[in-house]
Amino acid sequence: MNPLSDRPAQPPAQATMPDTSPQPSGSPSTAPLWRHVARGAWITLGAFSLPTVLSPCFRGLLSPRAFALRTLLGGFIYIDMIQPPQQVRFAPAPAPGQEVVALTLGMTPYIAAFYAQVRLANGLCSRAGSPGAQMAAASQRLWHRLCGLMPTRLATAARGYPINFVLARITAQMLAVGAGSLMSACFHHARGARLEPVPRPASMPSLRQRIQANPAAYLACGPAFASSVWLTLRLDRAAARAGGTLPPGLVALLASHVVAACIATALIHPGPLAAHN
């Protein structure tokens, strides 16, 4: 998920060197929109797609309550990935109300994408002979062929990997971040902002420096994502009772809680990083 609206530029807060290179015609350079979309996709991949890929590998090793904490882990990764310095920002920076609107526009597509993904999985892709079922069967066959190239012990475990679910969920995430990034960018352009590149610092701040610069955001992660962890546990139990079938309404509810938690923590602005160098 993408913070999508950038915080006001921090003075030496981002530990960046001032951009002394003159711009033609005296105006700041404009970054292409794809960089805004790419940043959102990168954050989504790191905070949510990676846990989606890895979580099936640990399901059998953890208790249901411990396994549900993957949502909290994704929240911590998300909070860390949205800390400055970022590569691009919208200028002028949004007012608090505008920031909330941009964040909401950017993240709401996740709810619709997850709901649609589960509905398709439970409907179109589960009907024998349908195009969705044929596509799912084809990907499963391809996966089993790839498993045949692995060492025997690894192949045995890999054949039980839910490849279709993982592919569908990551596809939903990427479609959501693409739509959300475009929606938030349109909002920023409508208020007269432009996407600008941010000068990169000579050295990137360490994890300790990022936490010291914005401890409130990291501390807020637990309370913000607490209900999401509880809903994740409910969702896992419901899926186990239904043989892996997920209720679309419960998935949309979980996505809503995660989106709300992401918006709330993204609004906690960092302090100067330079003070911790």
The per-residue pLDDT for range 155-211, each reduced to its tens digit, is: 888 999 999 999 999 999 999 999 999 999 999 999 999 999 988 888 889 999 999
The pLDDT assigned to 256 comes to: 96
Residue pair 193/13 in contact (Cβ under 8 Å)? The answer is no
149-154 long-range Cβ contacts below 8 angstroms, 24+ apart: none
Residue 14 has pLDDT above 70, yes or no: no
Q: What pLDDT digit, counting tens, does each position of 107-163 carry?
A: 999 999 999 999 888 887 878 888 888 888 999 999 999 998 989 888 888 999 999
Cα three-residue angle 265-266-268, rounded to 5 degrees = 70
Q: What is the rounded distance in angstroms from the CA atom of residue 94 to the CA atom of residue 102?
A: 9
Q: What is the rounded distance in angstroms from the CA atom of residue 251 to the CA atom of residue 249?
A: 5
Residue pair 17/201 in contact (Cβ under 8 Å)? The answer is yes
Q: What pLDDT digit, counting tens, does each position of 251-263 carry?
A: 999 999 999 999 9
Residue pair 15/108 in contact (Cβ under 8 Å)? The answer is no
Name residue 91's beta-bridge partners: 194
Cβ count within 10 A of residue 20: 6
| Cis, peptide link before residue 92, omega less than 30° from 0 | yes
The pLDDT assigned to 1 comes to: 58
Kindly state the percentage of the chain with pLDDT values over 90: 62
Radius of gyration of the chain (CA): 21
pTM: 0.84
In the chain, what are the helix, strand and coil shares in percent, each to the nearest 5? 70, 5, 30
